[in-house]
Structure formats: structure tokens, C-alpha cells
Structure 1
Amino acid sequence: MIFVAYMALGAIAGILAGLFGIGGGIIVVPALVLAFNLQGINPEIVFYMAIATSLANIIFTSLGAIRTHQKKRAIEWHLVKPIAVGMFGGSIIGVNTALAIPATYLQATFGAFAIFLSLRMMFLQLDAGKLRLPGIIGLGVAGAMIGWVSALFGIGGGNFLVTWLSNRRLVIQKAVATASACGFAIAIAGAVSNATLGWGNPMLPSYSVGYIYLPALLGIVSTSVVAAAYGSKIAHRLSPQMLSRMFAWMLLLMGLRMLTSVWF
């Protein structure tokens, strides 16, 4: 039964990954926290396992989304290269930072960040067109910062990168497509780091590779890849205004959910 729930979660996460370029982590992480708690996994490592498993899943969902966005020629590869390099390095540091922070604080910060980003997207039109994209070094630095924060929370970076790119004169469909490609770098670095750093932890359940829980990963991946391609197609059918609005509300709801799960 729990495997079926993981499959359903993968389908939802995949659609969101393709639709918003977010990797699906903002849905997967809180859902996995709930599932792992119900399974009786040690609460001290539940959030770390959710982050690690989410990052491993993003490796697959980002590939599905990239394939569909590339067919639409929406990915700005000249932006992907410097941003992805920065993200790769930043995410490795982010994983190590996450493991040094108490899980409750990490979860509360996750929710606050999501709410901040949602409000930023809602009022994005007030600032649209005022900022320009930086040069290669600036893109790399921005990528490193986004990678660091994203790896802290087990998300693909699209939550932050889409907002950042959209506010720098990039149409949101292209911002989503570019974020999907960049998220792959975070996923690889984050998943490998979590697998390595969690290796041999006695609190981990069976069928874990470091902090990555394989039964959950397999269930999610089984549906998320196809769903991500479908979500990408939907993104190109929506107007930029509608896509921005949907993105903002999705972030707000997830942020509130994470904060309430900490307090209650």
C-alpha cells in the first residue's frame, strides 16, 4: 500500500517538475516526512532521508522535463552552463550544512523560504524588466547560492531560479525550462553527497543507500518521469501570467504546510 502511495506522489511531483521547473521536491519532501513518520522511522533522521530521497528523484524528473522543454527549444543553454557549475559546487556545501542543522529548524526555514518566494512571485510584475542578467561570473555565483539553499531543503533549485530568472527579463516558460536543466546538477551533487555522508548510519532502515530510501525512490520514479514530460507540455500551453500565478500559489500552500507541520 505504501508503495502505491509513493507512486501517486511521484505522479504529482513529476507534473509539478515539468510545469514549474522545480524538480518536485517542494511536494516530495513534506510528503516523505509524513510517510516516513508513519512507517516508524527514527524521527532524528526522517527529514534528512526525505531531502536525500527527493534529490535522488530529481535526477530522473529533470531528465524527463529537459527532454520535453528541449523539443520546444525553450532551454537557454548559454545560461545553464555557468549556473549549473555554480549549483553543483553550492549543493555539495548545502548538503553538509543541512546535516549540521537540527531537522526542526531546517523544516521551519524551508516553509519560510517557500512563503517568501510565493509572495515574491505574486508581486513580480511590479519589478519585471528592471533587472538584467549578469555575466558568466555573476551567473556562477547566483548558481552557487541557489545550489546551496536548494540542497539544504532537498529541492531542485527551480523554486529560486525561476523567480530569479523571471525577474531578469526572461519569459517564464524559458525560465522554467532553463531551471529544469540546471536542477539536474543539484540533484546529482546532492544525491551523491547524501548517500556518502549517511553511509553506515545505524539509525537508517533497511534498503537505504546512505540517506536515500530506495523503496520510496523506486515508487516515485516509476511515475514521475512520464508525468514530468506531461507537465512540461502543459507549461507551454499556458500564458506567462497564468503560469506565474499558479507557481506563486503552489509555493505559498507548500510553505504554510511545512510551517504548520512544525508547530502542530
Structure 2
Amino acid sequence: MAEMQILLTKHRKRATPEQSTVTAPASMEFFVSLYLLLAVCGCVTGVTTVLFGFGGGFVVVPLLYRLLSTPNAPSSAVGQSAMQIAVATSTCVMVFGALLATWRHQRAGTVDWTNVRPLVGPIGAGAVLGALAATVVQSEWLRWAFAAYLVLTILDCWLRPGFLAQPAAKQHRPGPLANALSGLVIGWVAALLGVGGSVMTVPLMRRRGIEMTRATAMANPLSLPVALAGTGTYIVLSTQSPLPLGEWHLGYIDIRAAAVLVAGSWIGIRAASLWIGRIPDRVHAKVYLGLLIVVFLAMVTT
């Protein structure tokens, strides 16, 4: 990461005063390093998707925001939309990751569809509302909203009983209204921040008495409606934006970055699938919480 920061700094210094409102010309060295870093990030995303249920947003959003905002002037089209591009690209990559990880968990028999089905529709509806909200919120506000939500989630998982401890044998199943309200909130927050919803669904399933392997497995099919609704909404709404983002963009989605991330994610998911069901429950929960803390620190220091 230190080497990448040096490259980004050199790249930005190439801009002349006359270029202060546009993106500086990019070198081949910059692009090669950028896509290598994205490929590694994709592999990490694949691992976190299949083992911990978060489909890339916690890794992809902070990284893409940094890579987009550093070499591009704040007044440029990409600079002004850096967070929206990061979130939209994250939801696009999430479609692939959620599908493949769900298939892997289905083969392992770890997906409890009786808990998944009641949440799919409400989460999809909430995701559309969240994506709509994200297109009108300034990038910097969205970034700090992301960080604030991470803090709340970390504190909730750490302090509220039922996450770190082994869940009770008896599972609690809420009624239709509770599922609908939970799904709407999860979908709205997930699409707004581009995080897939696992940050809410995994703690929710833990409080219902479900072990970590199944809780993280169910986060993947529940991320799919967020990814589909969010991606589609970003594509449609970006056509109304006056800011031209240039080639290789489908709406707010950076197609080249998404392709590299998907390729890396496929490798990570295949490798991590060998560990499904093999991690002790308490260790699984602690590592999940530790990863949230690492991502928060990365986000606030960007």
C-alpha cells in the first residue's frame, strides 16, 4: 500500500496548474500497479465473501475511493463522484461474488432458506431506496456515514450478548412484520454504503441463535437483491448526471476495475471454500469482528 501511495503521489504531481480541474495523464506504471492491487483486493474479497459473508464492500469501497480520489482533482467528474463510483462498482462485483458464494454454500448444505426467503423481497425494496439516496449524497458525507456505521456495528457486536458467544440451541423466528422492517432497513443501508448487508444480516442471524457458518452463508443470498437492485439503480440514475465520467464506465460503474475485481474474487472464493464449516464458532465470530475493526481503521485514515 505504501508503494501504491508513492505512485499515486507522483501521478498527481504531473498535473500542471492548468490541469487542476481535470485528471492528470496516467502512466503505464500507474495502471499496471493499480490493476495488480485491484486483483489482490479481488482475491481478498472472495475470501471474505465465502467465509464471512461480506461481499467486497468493506474492502472494495475504501480502496476504490482512495484510488479514484487521489489521482483525480476534486473538481473533476471522477473526483466529485469518487464515492458513488466506488459504491456502484462494489455492488456490481457483489453480484458475481454473492452468486458463486451462495452456490458453494448450497453445495456444503449451510444455507438455511427458511430464514432467507422472508427477507429477500424487503431487502431488494430497501436497496432501491438506498441506491437512490446515495446518488444525491455528497461523496465526503457518504464516506463518513460508512465509517460511522462501522463504529455502530462493531460496538453492537462487541457489547450485545449473542454475537461472540456460542448461540443458544433454540432459534428465534420473528414474524412477517419484523422481517419486512428488518429487510427494508438492511437493504437501504447496504445499497447506500455498498456493503452488501452482511454487516447487519450476520449479527441479526446470530441474535436468532444461528451459528457463524450458517449466518455468514445466509448473508450471501441476502446480498444478491442488494447487489442487483443497487447496480441497476446506479446505472439508470447516472444517465441523468451532468458529469461525464469518460470511457469504460457503465453509469457509475468502472467496468475495468469491476472486471479485475471479479477475476480476483473468483480465485479467492475457490480457495476459501475449502474452509467452509471448519472454523470454530467463537474464533469465526472474533475474526469477523476483527476484520470490521481493520476496515474501519483503513477507512478513517484514507
The equivalent residue for 2:37 is 5
Q: 2:216 aligns with which of 163, 166, 176?
A: 176
Match of 2:176 in 1: 136
Does structure 2 conserve the Cα–Cα contact (< 8 Å) formed by 1:83 and 1:143? Answer: yes
Q: Name the stretch that deviates more: 67-76 or 54-63.
A: 67-76
Tell me how far 1:104 sits from its aligned partner: 1.1
Between 196-205 and 51-60, report the one with greater CA deviation.
Answer: 196-205
- How far the C-alpha of 1:122 sits from its partner, in A, is 2.6
Alpha-carbon deviation of 1:131?
8.3
| Mapped pair 1:69 → 2:109 | no
How far the C-alpha of 1:39 sits from its partner, in A, is 4.2
Correspondence 1:82-93 to 2 at 5 A:
82-93=118-129
Closer, same or farther: CA 175–11 of 1 in aligned 2, 3 Å? same
Higher Cα Rg, which structure: 2
SS at match of 1:176: helix
Structure-to-structure mapping, 1:93-108, within 5 angstroms: 93-108=129-144
* Cα separation, partners in 2 of 1:158 and 1:229, compared to 1, 3 Å: farther
Offset of residue 108 of structure 1? 0.8
Residues 115-135 of structure 1: CA distance to partner in whole angstroms, max 9, x if unpaired? 221222233446755983312
TM-score when scaled to structure 1? Answer: 0.92
**AA paired with 1:27?**
V
User: Residues of 2 paired with 1:180 and 1:232: CA distance?
Assistant: 13
Q: How many Å separate the matches in 2 of 1:88 and 1:102?
A: 23
State how far apart, in whole Å, the 1-side matches of 2:215 and 2:81 are: 34
Of 41, 54, 64, the match for 1:22 = 54
1:187 equivalent to 2:219? Answer no
Structure 1 distance, partners of 2:56, 2:155, is 19
Residue 215 of structure 1 pairs with residue 256 of structure 2: yes
Equivalent pair of 1:25/1:54 in contact (CA under 8 Å)? yes
- More off after superposition, 252-261 vs 80-89: 252-261
Q: Paired residue for 2:157?
A: 121
What TM-score, normalized by structure 2, do the two folds share?
0.81
Q: What is the count of residue pairs matched by the alignment?
A: 261
Q: Unpaired segments of 5 or more residues in structure 2?
A: 1-31
Structure 1 stretch displaced more, 78-87 or 236-245: 78-87
Check the 8 A contact 2:162/2:207 in 1, yes or no: no
Secondary structure of 2:173 counterpart: coil
Paired residue for 2:245, among 185, 204, 208? 204
Q: CA deviation at 1:199?
A: 2.2
Which residue in the other structure is 1:240 paired with?
A: 281
Secondary structure class of the residue paired with 2:301: helix
Q: Which residue of 1 aligns with 2:207?
A: 167
Counterparts of 1:68 and 1:221, CA distance in 2: 16
Tell me, in whole angstroms, the C-alpha distance in 1 between the residues paired with 2:244 and 2:193: 21
**CA, structure 1 residues 235+251, in 2 after alignment: closer, same or farther (shift >3 Å)?**
farther
Q: Per the alignment, do residues 21 and 139 of structure 1 end up closer, same or farther by CA in structure 2, a change over 3 Å counting?
A: same
Deviation per CA, 1:150-178, whole angstroms, max 9, x where unpaired?
Answer: 00111111111101111111111111111
Question: What secondary structure is seen at the aligned counterpart in 2 of 1:111?
Answer: helix
The higher-RCO structure (CA 8 Å, 6+ apart) is 1
Unaligned runs of 5+ in 1: none
The structure that is helix-richer by fraction is 1
Alpha carbons 1:64, 1:226 under 8 Å: kept: no
**Percent identity (aligned):** 25
Moved more, 54-63 or 29-38: 29-38
- Per the TM alignment, residue 259 of structure 1 is displaced from its structure 2 partner at its CA by 2.5
Give the superposition deviation at 1:249.
Answer: 0.9
Shift of 1:79: 1.7
Counterpart secondary structure, 1:227: helix
The CA RMSD over aligned residues, in Å, is: 1.9
Output the CA distance in 1 between the equivalents of 2:159 and 2:278: 23
SS of residue paired to 2:239: coil
